[in-house]
Amino acid sequence: MHCRFEKVTSSRFLRCHGPWPARYSFQPGEAVPRQPEKSFPAVNTAEGCEWSSDGSLLGLVDPAGGVTVYSAAQGYEPVCQVPPLVGGPVRNFYFSPLGTHLVTYERWVKDAGDNVGVWDTKTGEKRFSFILKNMTGMTWPPLKWTSLETHCCRMVQDGVQILPGSCERSEVLRIDAPGIMAFEVSPRGSGPQGSGSPHVALVVAETKGQPARCQVYKLDDPSRATATKNFFKAQTVTMKWNNVGTAVLVKSAMEVDDTGKSYYGGANLYFLRADGEETALVASADGGPIHDAQWSPTQDEFILLHGELPCPAGLYEGRKGNKRVDFGSGHRNTIRWNPFGRFFVLGGYGQLLGDTDFWDKPGKQLMATRRMECCVVCGWAPDGRHFLTATTAPRMRVDNKIELFDYLGAPLGKLEFDELLLAGTSRAMTAGKGAPSGHNPSWLHVNVPISLSHCLLRYTEDHGVYAAIADQPRAASTAFSR
C-alpha cells in the first residue's frame, strides 16, 4: 500500500483493502468516501512498489510477476506493462533519473537466460537484457545514469561499459579494469553549470599484495584515468559524488577489525578530486568507526560523523577535504540533509536512544533536539520543511508507526500500524488530475502488509491539517493537527 502527502486543497490517499491497493479522494472536513477512485493490482512485498524520482510514475509488481507502470499525471492510468524475463516475479526494480527507463531484476536461475531487463517506460519495449548472478550492495543498481541521462554505465566482469543515456547499443565505450569491485557515476559534468564531461569512479580489488585502487575517468574520453588513489583493507567499498561532479568520497571497509577496537570491522574514508589535483585520507580506522558521511545536495561540502561515541560532527569543504566547522559531539550515527542544503538532522538510531538534532547550517545553530525512539527509517519531505521517521518491520515487530515533525523538530502527528513495512517521502506530479498546475507537492508513501487495511493521506497546507485514514488502525485517532 502507498500513501502520500500533497499540498493542495483536496486530498487523496491510498489504502490496501485485502490485497488490493486503492486510491481515495476527499475534502478536509467531509466524510471519507467509501468507494475508491482507483484500484491497483496486488503487491506481495515492500519491494513491489517504486516511484520515479520526480513522482510522475508509479511502478507496481503485477500478479503475472512483471511490472505495471502508472502515470500520476494521467490519473494513474497504466502507461505500460513489463513482462518477467525468466518467469518472475520481479524482485527489485527502479527508474532511471528522468523516468525514461525501467530496470527490473529477477532471481538468477541457471540456463534460464537473462534476468535483468532495461525497458522503455513509455512503450514497455525491452531495450536490452543481461545476466546478474549475485545482487549485492556493490552490484546493485547494475546500470547508473547521470542526472540528465546523458550517459549510462554498466559494470561488467572486467571493466565498465559506457553507453549513451538512451541505452543505444551501437555506441559503446569501455574501460578495462580487471578485478573491478564497484563503480559510481557523477551526477553531471564538472564544468560551470554542469558543462564538460561527467566522470565515473571505479575501484579495483587488492590482488597479490598490490593495493586496491580507485580511479576516475571522463565518460567522453575514458582513455586514461584523471585521478587515482591506492589503499589497502578494502573488502567492500562505497562511493558518493558531490552534487557538482567534481569530487568523490570513497569508503573502504573490512568485515573484521584487525586492531580489535570494533566489533563491526574497520573503515577508511578517502577524498578524491575528479581532476586529480587533490587526494586525501579524511578519516581512518585508527580514529574510530565512520558512522556516516553525506554531501550537501546544493553546496560543495559534506558532513562527517567519525570516532568513538560520543563522536564529533564536522563540516568539510569539497575542494581539499579540510574541516571547516565543528558541530560538537554526541551519540549520533545518521546524517540527513534537507533537499535545499539549509537544514540537516543528526540522529542516533539503531542501538542508540534516538536523540535527534535539527541544525540550521548557514547560521551554524542548533534549533532543537528531540528523542525519536525506535526509528528505523527517516528523511526529509521534498519541501525541505517536514521530517518523517518510521518504525518498521521486520527490524521492529512492535510499535510500528510513522511520526512527522517540522524543521524545528516540533511533532505534527503520529500514525500507528500493527505492521509497517516501508515509509518514505517522494516528489509528486507537478500537474495532473487532482493537482492544480504550477503546484509542486510533497508526498508521503507507505507500504503495509497486504493482509492489513491501512491508508494515509497527504498534507493540505491551505487547511493547515494533517490527516490519515485507516480501515482498522491500531490508534483510535487518525487526525494530525498542526
119 and 22 assigned to the same domain: no
Cell of 207: 590482488
Is residue 157 domain-shared with residue 276, that is, in the same domain? Answer: yes
Of 287, 316, 331, the residue at which a domain comes to its end is: 287
For residues 228 and 241, membership in a common domain is answered with yes
Which domain CATH number covers 80? 2.40.10
Would you state the cell numbers that stand for residue 205, as one nine-digit string? 580489488
Structural domain contains residue 375: yes
Q: Work out the burial of residue 464: count CB atoms within 10 Å of its CB; fewer than 13 is exposed, 13-18 middle, 19 or more buried.
A: exposed
Per DSSP (E only), the strands in 91-178 are 92-95, 101-105, 116-120, 126-130, 143-145, 151-156, 159-164, 173-176
89 with 61: CB under 8 angstroms?
A: yes
Q: 193 — alpha (psi -120 to 50), left (phi > 0) or beta? A: left
* Any domain includes 254: yes
- Same domain (yes/no): 271, 405: no
Task: Choose one of 134, 168, 191: the last residue of a domain.
Answer: 134
12 and 120 fall within a common domain: no
Q: How many Å apart are CA 301 and CA 363, to the nearest integer?
A: 16
The whole domain housing 121 covers: 47-134
Residue 232 falls inside a structural domain: yes
**pLDDT tens, the chain, 482 aa long:** 344 333 333 334 343 333 344 443 434 344 434 444 666 667 777 788 888 988 889 899 988 899 999 998 888 889 999 999 998 899 999 999 999 999 999 999 998 999 999 999 999 999 999 999 999 989 999 999 999 999 999 999 899 999 999 988 888 999 999 999 999 999 998 777 778 899 999 999 998 889 999 999 999 999 999 999 999 989 999 999 999 999 999 999 988 766 666 667 789 999 999 999 999 999 999 899 999 999 999 999 999 999 999 999 999 999 999 999 999 999 999 999 999 999 999 999 999 999 999 999 999 999 999 999 999 999 998 888 889 898 988 888 888 888 888 899 988 877 777 877 777 666 545 444 333 333 344 444 444 443 322 333 333 333 232 223 223 334 322 333 33
Closest CA to 247 of 213, 220, 272, 214: 272
Residues 167 and 77 in one domain: no
Is residue 307 in a domain?
A: no
Among 134, 153, 170, the domain boundary falls at 134
The per-residue pLDDT for 35 is: 45
Return the bridge partners of 161, or none: 154, 174
Same domain, 130 and 191: no
Q: Which of 316, 351, 348, 355 is nearest to 334 (CA)?
A: 348
The 3-state DSSP class for residue 364 equals coil
Phi-psi map region of 208: left, alpha, beta (phi>0 left; psi -120 to 50 alpha) = left
Q: Which residues on adjacent β-strands are paired with residue 434?
A: none
* Residue 281: C-alpha distances to residues 202, 269, 325, 344, 347 (Å): 17, 6, 18, 24, 25
Instruction: Report which residue type is found at 468.
Output: A
**Distance from first CA to last CA of the chain, Å, rounded?**
25
So what's the pLDDT on residue 171?
Answer: 81
Distance CA 9, CA 4 (A): 14
Do residue 382 and residue 459 come from a single domain?
A: yes
In a domain, 313, yes or no: no
**Pick from 412, 423, 408: which is nearest to 455 by CA?**
423
Q: Give which of 30, 44, 154, 20 is closest to 92, Cα–Cα.
A: 44
- Tally of domains within the chain: 3
CA–CA separation, 371 and 380 (whole Å): 17
Both 254 and 201 in a single domain? yes
Residue 203 domain-assigned?
Answer: yes
**Torsion over CA: 317, 318, 319, 321 (sign):** positive
Within 285-439, strands assigned E span 290-295, 301-306, 311-317, 323-330, 334-337, 343-347, 355-360, 365-371, 377-380, 386-391, 400-406, 411-417, 422-427
Residue that the C-alpha cell 554498466 belongs to: 154
Contact 346, 275 (CB under 8 A): no
Domain co-membership, 158 together with 68: no
Does 438 reside within a domain? yes
CATH number, domain at 187? Answer: 2.130.10.10
Q: Do 82 and 183 belong together in one domain?
A: no
Q: Where are the beta strands (DSSP E) in 147-211?
A: 151-156, 159-164, 173-176, 180-185, 199-204
Please give the single-letter amino acid code of residue 219. Answer: L
376 and 238 co-located in one domain: no
- pTM comes to 0.82
Structural domain includes residue 348? no
Q: Residue with C-alpha cell 564538460? A: 196
